[in-house]
Amino acid sequence: MFEQLGLIGCGLMGGSFALALKRAGLVKRVVGYSKSPSTTERARSMGVIDVEAPSALLAVSGADIVLLAVPVSATEATLKAIRHLVSRDMLIMDVGSTKRDVIDAARRVLRDNIPAFVPCHPIAGKELSGVDHADPELYAGKQVVITPIERTDPAKVQRATQVWEALQCQVVHMTPEEHDAAFAAVSHLPHMIAFALINGITDQEQGRNFLSLAGPGFRDFTRIAAAEPKMWRDILLANRQELLAQSKLFQRALLEMEQMIEGGDSDALETMIEKASDTRARWRLSQKKH
Amino acid sequence: MFEQLGLIGCGLMGGSFALALKRAGLVKRVVGYSKSPSTTERARSMGVIDVEAPSALLAVSGADIVLLAVPVSATEATLKAIRHLVSRDMLIMDVGSTKRDVIDAARRVLRDNIPAFVPCHPIAGKELSGVDHADPELYAGKQVVITPIERTDPAKVQRATQVWEALQCQVVHMTPEEHDAAFAAVSHLPHMIAFALINGITDQEQGRNFLSLAGPGFRDFTRIAAAEPKMWRDILLANRQELLAQSKLFQRALLEMEQMIEGGDSDALETMIEKASDTRARWRLSQKKH
């Protein structure tokens, strides 16, 4: 049981964490701060947080658990804002979709207090962001990747693992590098592709007409393209190295298919499609549920 | 009201058409043929067809409406099999996802009877194929693209339009070239990309582990990759010219994003993502419903 959660960022991710922690009976009090005062106020009136903090620093004051739930690009500034009240007794976690850049920022800012910081990425989300969509069930049954570094306190990693497991998450430990490569492949690259596909179509004179013919396959394929631009700009930039490496591998596979199609190599093409189709048919999201 | 539907190919598309036509009271009798005798038999026992024909040719005998519901790669052989009983009095339609190759085959085989052939592409389908999933509702509320050529009899185009409208479809007329470019952009290219993305991931040593972390965004993005390999091999080959052209436009848009990411051009990247996100958010599948 924690005495006080200091929540920085009261949006979908942060708000849902606070609600889940409260419902699990794991925290007595939630003190929250959001950049936008109206968000903080809304979070309090919804019961997501108990007390509004006027600054990130004051949200941390008295907290024994701190969650950074801000865009990855805001991590460094947020850590700077709170560092004077951060102590090694706290458990500090984030929820960012990229880990190396977050860890780099934490190293630069937290210095001697870095052992208290456990980098986390809960694989959960919704199409709708904001505290209004905060949901105590958001994390239940989802995976959380924890990417400790050498200097992370093993006791804090254990504590963080217990917290997420108490919220019915399945915790996976990886290195930050493995994490960033994996998410470049299965999330960031698909987003970049979906953005490029849509722009490639609408840049054509007849593109809007083409879109009016698109069916359910297109709907599902491009659903991720409706994502929040600022957040995705930040993610793509934060993970640029792994993203560009994954994009090269994708383009190599695409070129291979193009050559088969151009050369009319029907058998090889079928083999390629079959390989992808089999992999996808065997893949199940439910593998990640308890 | 038609006397007799000659149905060639009693799978999902053909079977659903027969059921819908019957339910609309538009046909007295359905004579069906499938390459696999067990499919034809199953179609009859399900009431999808009334009579099993022992050959494609005999399915056409006595028909005043004929539907080719075979893979696009089988169009030419099928037309050859029936040409001796095709007459200009019949209405002959297909349901293929590509139109130029189908029309080329029809020109070569049907010759003087080509006016009777109305090339159609109903934008409908299911993840599950086969007559067992035939559904009289499959086409309701969907778009059907009709791509007549100069030699197509305008009266037949009108008749075909009436038939699809009676099945509650919204009929769109396009040239075969426009059709193939549009579907290369919104369907065939997304499929090729989804296949290549999965193969690009699994070709990596850690690829299988990456996949185990993928979430709902990946699930939706790659859903089309589980498609039927032979059918998609044929579609990608049949529409190769337009597909490769669309792929080039896509790769240009992708490269542009990569350069912005590599150069850290945050503003330009946000603008690109915003453009795609806005387009996708405004796009609605329901535009295509009545």
**pLDDT of the residue at A56:** 98
Q: Are residues A153 and A186 in the same domain?
A: no
If one counts the domains in chain A, the total is 2
Q: Give the position of tokens 């778009």.
A: B143
Q: Are residues B154 and B221 in the same domain?
A: no
ipTM: 0.83
Q: Report the distance separating Cα A86 and Cα A3, nearest Å.
A: 16
Q: Are residues B38 and B109 in the same domain?
A: yes
pLDDT, tens digit (0-9, with 9 covering 90-100), for B214-242: 988 999 999 999 989 998 999 999 999 99
What are the structure tokens assigned to A87, written together?
């102590």
Q: What is the CATH number of the domain that holds B80?
A: 3.40.50.720
Cα distances (Å, whole numbers) of residue B128 to A220, B12, B41, B135, B274:
17, 8, 19, 11, 35
Q: Are strands B65-68 and B91-94 parallel, antiparallel or unpaired?
A: parallel
Q: Are residues B169 and B206 in the same domain?
A: no
Per-residue confidence band for B76, with pLDDT thresholds at 50, 70 and 90: very high
Nearest to A262 by CA among B192, B177, B95: B192
Q: Which of B145, B174, B203 is the last residue of a domain?
A: B174
**Helices B240-262 & B189-202, crossing angle to 10 degrees?**
60
> What integer is the mean pLDDT of A147-159?
98
Q: Is the pLDDT of residue A288 over 50?
A: no
pLDDT, tens digit (0-9, with 9 covering 90-100), for A63-76: 999 999 999 999 99
**Contacts A122 to B, Cβ<8 Å:** none
Q: Are residues B133 and B66 in the same domain?
A: yes
**pLDDT of the residue at B215:** 86
Q: Are residues A162 and A20 in the same domain?
A: yes
Q: Are residues A30 and A150 in the same domain?
A: yes
> What integer is the mean pLDDT of B243-267?
98
DSSP string, B14-40: HHHHHHHHHHTT-EEEEEEE-SSHHHH
- Please, how many CA atoms are within 13 Å of residue A123, restricted to the half-sphere of its CB? 29
Q: Are residues A44 and A170 in the same domain?
A: yes
Q: Which of B140, B174, B208 is the last residue of a domain?
A: B174
> What integer is the mean pLDDT of B194-204?
97
Q: What is the CATH number of the domain that holds A232?
A: 1.10.3660.10
Q: Are strands A27-33 and B27-33 parallel, antiparallel or unpaired?
A: unpaired
> What integer is the mean pLDDT of B50-75?
97
- Nearest CB to B202 within list A220, A270, A279: A279
CB contact, 8 Å: A285 with chain B? yes
Q: Are residues B167 and B186 in the same domain?
A: no
Contact A199 B240 (CB under 8 A): no
Q: Which of A128, A152, A174 is the last residue of a domain?
A: A174
Is B113 within 8 Å of B83 (Cβ atoms)? yes
**pLDDT of the residue at B125:** 80
Q: Are residues A125 and A231 in the same domain?
A: no
Q: Are residues B283 and B264 in the same domain?
A: yes
Q: Are residues B135 and B265 in the same domain?
A: no
Which B residues 46-85 touch A at CB under 8 Å? Answer: none
Q: How many CB atoms lie within 10 A of CB B191?
A: 20
**pLDDT of the residue at A128:** 79
- Min mean pLDDT across A57-61, B104-108, B228-232 is at B228-232
Is B246 within 8 Å of A239 (Cβ atoms)? no
Nearest to A7 by CA among A88, A80, A77, A65: A65
Which B residues 125-184 touch A at CB under 8 Å? Answer: 125, 143, 145, 172, 178, 181-183
Q: Report the distance separating Cα A16 and Cα A167, nearest Å.
A: 11
DSSP string, A147-162: ---TTS-HHHHHHHHH
| Substitution target from B178, B279, B285 for chain A, most A beta carbons within 10 A | B279
Per-residue confidence band for A289, with pLDDT thresholds at 50, 70 and 90: very low
Q: Are strands B120-122 and A65-68 parallel, antiparallel or unpaired?
A: unpaired
**Contacts A233 to B, Cβ<8 Å:** 266, 269-270, 273
**pLDDT of the residue at B135:** 96
Contact B253 A199 (CB under 8 A): yes
pLDDT, tens digit (0-9, with 9 covering 90-100), for B177-198: 999 999 999 999 999 999 999 9
Cα distances (Å, whole numbers) of residue B227 to A138, B102, B193:
31, 21, 13
Quote the domain boundaries for residue B113: 2-174
**pLDDT of the residue at B126:** 77
